[in-house]
Chain A
């Protein structure tokens, strides 16, 4: 079974501080991992996916198969990063997504 766990429901950091949103997954096959973000009053949107290995809005995430993790990181948080973040998993070549519970990130000025 596929499962995604985001252990922190809420995370609050100060502007300029580093931020890390944790994501662990459980899947016996080869997963594809994603981070989605939902800003206030906006729709869910893709932030990044592990296969593209991009840095979007300063965020990066590395897939660690040994630890089955896909933590999202940003070295210097900005106030506009305040949002709800969801980690998600799919099997390779499949469209179905399994979402984590989400982490609400608040960046304090």
Chain B
């Protein structure tokens, strides 16, 4: 079964509003989780690394004030898209792994965000 749960699966919001996406590791503790963005017919682009108890590490070109990441516990990371605009519409995917020294092997089912 799934070991990484992502919620919601899809969300539609109006421009200017904020949307929160949750990523949970179900049967293991994840000190690090990862957030990806995937445009239609394109690859997954890493947005940021979410670190439990500390600030997230953002990739170059990703606005930290726009994409707020909170990793408050060892099983939950949240991504909040603030003041969303239509260009933020995308597929957001999180991942987590049991082993901190190896890439995450488990992915969430993704969240389809549509900003109208």
Is the beta-carbon distance between A86 and B43 smaller than 8 angstroms?
A: yes
A34 within 8 A of B: yes
Is the beta-carbon distance between B107 and A101 smaller than 8 angstroms?
A: no
Is the beta-carbon distance between A45 and B32 smaller than 8 angstroms?
A: no
Is the beta-carbon distance between A99 and B101 smaller than 8 angstroms?
A: no
Is the beta-carbon distance between B101 and A93 smaller than 8 angstroms?
A: yes
Is the beta-carbon distance between A96 and B108 smaller than 8 angstroms?
A: no
Is the beta-carbon distance between B107 and A32 smaller than 8 angstroms?
A: no
Please give, as numbers and ranges, the residues of chain A lying within 8 Å of B43 by CB-CB distance. 86, 99-102
The number of inter-chain residue pairs (CB within 8 angstroms) is: 52
A64 within 8 A of B: no
Please give, as numbers and ranges, the residues of chain A lying within 8 Å of B32 by CB-CB distance. 95
Is the beta-carbon distance between B2 and A43 smaller than 8 angstroms?
A: yes
Give the distance in Å from the alpha carbon of A92 to the alpha carbon of B2 in the complex: 26
Per DSSP, are chain A's interface residues mostly helix, strand or loop, or mixed? loop
A11 within 8 A of B: no
A13 within 8 A of B: no
Please give, as numbers and ranges, the residues of chain A lying within 8 Å of B102 by CB-CB distance. 32, 90, 93, 95
Of chain B, the residue at the smallest CB distance from A90 is: B103
Give the distance in Å from the alpha carbon of A96 to the alpha carbon of B107 in the complex: 13
Give the distance in Å from the alpha carbon of A83 to the alpha carbon of B12 in the complex: 27
B93 within 8 A of A: yes
Please give, as numbers and ranges, the residues of chain B lying within 8 Å of A99 by CB-CB distance. 43-45
Q: For chain B residues 71-106, which have a beta carbon within 8 Å of chain A?
A: 93, 95, 97, 100-105
